[in-house]
Amino acid sequence: MSIETPRWPGGARMAVVVTIDFNDIHDIVAREPSTEGREKTLSVWRYGARRGVDRVLDVLDKHQVRASWFVPGRVAEEHRGLVGQIHAAGHELASNGYRCEIFDKLDLAQQQEAFRRGHGAVAEAVGEAPVGFRSASGNWAPGFADTLRAAGIRWSSSWRGDDLPYFHEPLAAPRLVELPLHYELEDEPYFAFNLYPPVPPGQSRIASYRDVLDNWRQDFAGFRRYGLCYLLRLHPEMIGTTGRIALLDELLGELRGQSDNWFTTGREVADWWAGTQPPNAPGHPVEIFARHIAELPS
């Protein structure tokens, strides 16, 4: 893969997208049901609404970066003021189900209901329908991509498997663009922690802040070398603490210092990709997955 042919607007060398998952307590309750009702434990995740969102917004504003915020419908209902504050600051709001449902545990109809309920709640909170979607965890069922298209969703950031955006199958218009994730460009694998109930189950997390920043820098250098789409996935309760917010501040300061980085939102990358790029290369992982699903016994 080379950067001989610039692929980004204005000849930019790479795209940079900051995404924030504002899930409050709902993601951890969905994944660790034993935490439900344990307010001492849940206060770890409630910190995002109490302190983290404001700190993240301040740093984004300092560096003039617009981010894409994924908000489940229940959070849009419970924290309407904060969600409105995020929207008023010029950031993109995107859907994340209703209560961070684990899609592996749901059939297609249940996935569709979770999406529609969550999508509607975010639209009502900010006065416009989101065009982006992220599934909190788990695979979506065959046919779910068609549900997203029918609802006006133009991009997802749920899957992995590449360094550049790609199109979901089927490729019929309107195209659904995927902006892939990388675990090393998230804060959760480094920082998510609770002593009891244990999160993560095997314990031993909370990495060195300096090492995490160095990881993000090294990955950025690689993405820039090949002209890719560098996408961060952050959580206000993790990156928004008093010590860690400095990591985001320092990273954005360095990246902003290079004028040929295209700082943008998921929506703008997806629109650019859908309007300018050819279909996926033959044999792309998303094509192989679609073929595998089609061959499963009914």
Q: For residue 3, what pLDDT is reported?
A: 52
Percent of the chain scoring above 70 in pLDDT:
97
Cα-based distances in Å from 221 to 77, 90, 217, 265: 39, 28, 6, 20
Q: How far is the C-alpha of 46 from the C-alpha of 14, rounded, in Å?
A: 35
Tell me which H or E stretch contains 80.
Answer: helix 80-88
Q: For residue 170, what pLDDT is reported?
A: 75
Percent of the chain scoring above 90 in pLDDT:
81
Q: For residue 26, what pLDDT is reported?
A: 95
Prediction pTM value: 0.94
Cα-based distances in Å from 19 to 56, 85, 189: 11, 16, 15
Burial class of residue 267 (count of CB atoms within 10 Å of its CB; 0-12, 13-18, 19+): buried
Rounded mean pLDDT for each run of 10 residues along the chain, 298 residues in total: 68 96 96 92 96 98 98 98 98 96 95 98 97 93 94 96 90 88 96 86 85 97 95 98 97 96 97 92 78 72
Q: For residue 291, what pLDDT is reported?
A: 77
